[in-house]
Amino acid sequence: MSESLSVGVLGYRFMGRAHANALARLPMFFPEAPAVERSVLIGRDEEAVAEATDQLGFSEYSTDWEDVVGDVDVFYNLGPNNVHADPSIAALEAGTSVFCEKPLAHTLEDAERMRDAARDSDATAGIAFNYRFIPAIRYAKELIDSGELGEIHHVRGTYLQDWLVDPEAPWSWRNDEEVAGSGALGDLGAHTIDLARFLVGDRAGEIDRLSGHLKTFVDERPVPGGDEASLESGGGESTETREVTVDDAYTAQASFEEGAIATFEASRFANGRKNDHSIEIEGSKGSLKFSLERLNELEVLREGSRGYETVLVTDPDDPYIDHWWPPGHVIGWEHTFVHENYEFLSAVAEGEEHTPSFEDGYRVQELLDAIERSDSEGEWVDV
Ligand code: SOE
């Protein structure tokens, strides 16, 4: 391996910018992180990828992932869900480490192939569940692991957005089952289910039984522009419509092996909620509440106390905070990407496994799949 890690990134829109920003911040704020070269940016639209290459600070671009995955030390797969499997598997087979956006794949079969490829490869494979890397979430995990909440009884997770509540909001690949696999369920629910597993899994075990319900409120939407780029960005105008083949919202109830029970919900129709990812956990001794809209805070109920206290998680000894600003100088959504990139690239440089792994991504995908099965069969399913 060369002195610095060369990185090839597939995807240059929302997630491409979030990860490129993280890579640029690392040497400034995490000087102990391995050195990284933003080597190749990959995309199908040559003009757009060339422009993004300059903007995001990459050395060159390619329009074909097959030319890149064996030539770099690390491959980031930030493309739509149906292009997660083949490029990631090819990279792992070539000994290239892979960081893949969530959900792991658009089908359980592809997720299984990816999990197996990661098992068979000596390279590091990680899934980008960025919300695990919020300092307040790490703090919550420490409280739960140290037994401060006691036995876990309840987990309640919601991820609420409203960008599709307007029936004229444009169709995009996120509305297409063949590309995305599912809608709010895979895009948002994957985050919540991963957080639940991360936070309480060591005490409550895995989710072993669940029932799910999926809902599509608007089943046809106007197609913008016509080309791929405008489909992604929502730009352009057209009178054509296209069918929505995924859910706009889901709800699920679940039980954990050790007896805790959970409810989960995500929606793109929660009018007034922009990007609110919340999790609440109640245990025999204490409880906690977290909302992404106040991501520097954790509400904690401690044993013997009459009410919740709000803990501002910005002290130097809070996870990752010593890398940023003095106490009370809050951090934001983009910092979660810096933290996860730091952990992932450090694991790559050390030749170690990264958590969350492709195995974690696969476990989440099994649960997403079980929620869909439960909805279509109309009954609880064992996982
Ligand atoms: C969807 O709107 C989305 O961008 C997700 O794809 C991300 O994973 C989530 O973090 C924010 O919302």
* CATH classification at residue 271: 3.30.360.10
Environment class of 306 (CB within 10 Å of its CB; exposed 0-12, middle 13-18, buried 19+): exposed
Q: Distance from the CA of 3 to the center of ligand 1, in angstroms? A: 34
Do both 251 and 312 map to the same domain?
yes
Q: Say if residue 125 is in the same domain as residue 169.
A: no
Q: Which atom of ligand 1 is nearest to the CA of 333?
A: 10
Distance of CA 259 from the midpoint of ligand 1 (Å): 31
pLDDT in tens, 103-138: 999 999 999 999 999 999 999 999 999 999 999 999
Three-class secondary structure of residue 13 per DSSP: coil
Total domain count, the chain: 2
Q: Give the Å distance between the CA of 15 and the centre of ligand 1.
A: 9
Looking at ligand 1, which atom is closest to the CA of residue 191?
Answer: 8
Lowest mean pLDDT among 233-242, 279-288, 314-323, 349-358: 233-242
Could you tell me which residues are beta bridge partners of residue 36?
Answer: 5
Closest CA to 43 of 58, 28, 26: 58
CA–CA distances in Å: residue 22 to residues 29, 263, 274: 10, 33, 23
Q: What's the pLDDT score for residue 239?
A: 74
Q: Which atom of ligand 1 is nearest to the CA of 102?
A: 8
Domain endpoint, select from 130, 145, 164? 130
Select from 84, 130, 182, 188 the residue to mutate for testing ligand 1; criterion: most ligand atoms less than 8 Å from CB: 188
Domain boundary among 95, 130, 165: 130
Distance in Å from the first CA to the final CA of the chain: 40
Range of the domain at 73: 5-130
pLDDT exceeds 70 at position 215: yes
CA distances to 14, 34, 277, 278 from 18, in Å: 6, 19, 18, 21
Strand order in the sheet with 125-127: 60-62, 36-42, 5-10, 74-77, 97-100, 125-127
364-367: Cβ within 8 A, 24+ apart: 364/102, 364/103, 364/104, 364/190, 364/193, 364/194, 364/197, 365/103, 365/104, 365/105, 365/108, 365/111, 365/190, 366/108, 366/111, 367/193, 367/207, 367/210, 367/254
Smallest CA separation from ligand 1 atom 1, residue: 187
93 within a domain of the structure (yes/no): yes
- What pLDDT was estimated at residue 256? 98
Pairing of strands 381-382, 207-215: antiparallel
Residues 146 and 268 in one domain: yes
Do 194 and 122 share a structural domain? no
Residue 233 has pLDDT above 80, yes or no: no
**Using only C-alpha atoms, what is the Rg of the chain?**
21
How far does the centroid of ligand 1 lie from the alpha carbon of residue 236, in Å?
22
* 9-44 pLDDT, tens digit each: 999 999 999 999 999 999 999 999 999 999 999 999
Q: What pLDDT does residue 224 have? A: 82
Q: Would you state the pLDDT for residue 64? A: 98
Q: How confident is the model at residue 369 (pLDDT cuts 50, 70, 90)?
A: very high
Residue 10 Cα, ligand 1 centroid: separation in angstroms?
17
Stretch 300-316: mean pLDDT: 98
Regarding whether 306 and 168 lie in a shared domain, the answer is yes
215 and 108 fall within a common domain: no
Distance, CA of 166 to CA of 236 (rounded, Å): 17
Pocket of ligand 1 (CB under 6 A): 161, 187, 275
Average pLDDT value for residue range 76-102: 98
pLDDT at residue 95 in the model: 98
Distance 188 CA to ligand 1 centre (A): 6
Residue closest via CA to ligand 1's atom 6 equals 187
Ligand 1 atom with least separation from CA of 101: 8
As a residue count, the chain comes to: 383
> Do 162 and 248 share a structural domain?
yes
CA pair distance 261, 259, nearest whole angstrom: 6
* C-alpha–C-alpha distance, residues 70 and 7, integer Å: 11
- Ligand 1 atom closest to the CA of 268, numbered from 1: 2
Examine residue 343 and state whether it is found in any structural domain, yes or no. no
Q: Is residue 2 pLDDT above 70, yes or no?
A: no
Residue 355 counted as domain residue: no
Q: Is residue 86 part of a domain?
A: yes
Neighbours of 352 (CB within 10 A): 10
Backbone φ and ψ for 23, nearest 5 degrees, come out as -65, -35
Ligand 1 centroid to 120 CA: how many Å?
30
Contact 210, 254 (CB under 8 A): yes
Ligand 1 center from residue 45 Cα (angstroms): 23
Would 264 be classed as within a structural domain?
yes
Domain holding 60: CATH number?
3.40.50.720
44 and 79, same domain (yes or no): yes
Instruction: Say if CB 130 and CB 165 are below 8 A apart.
Output: no
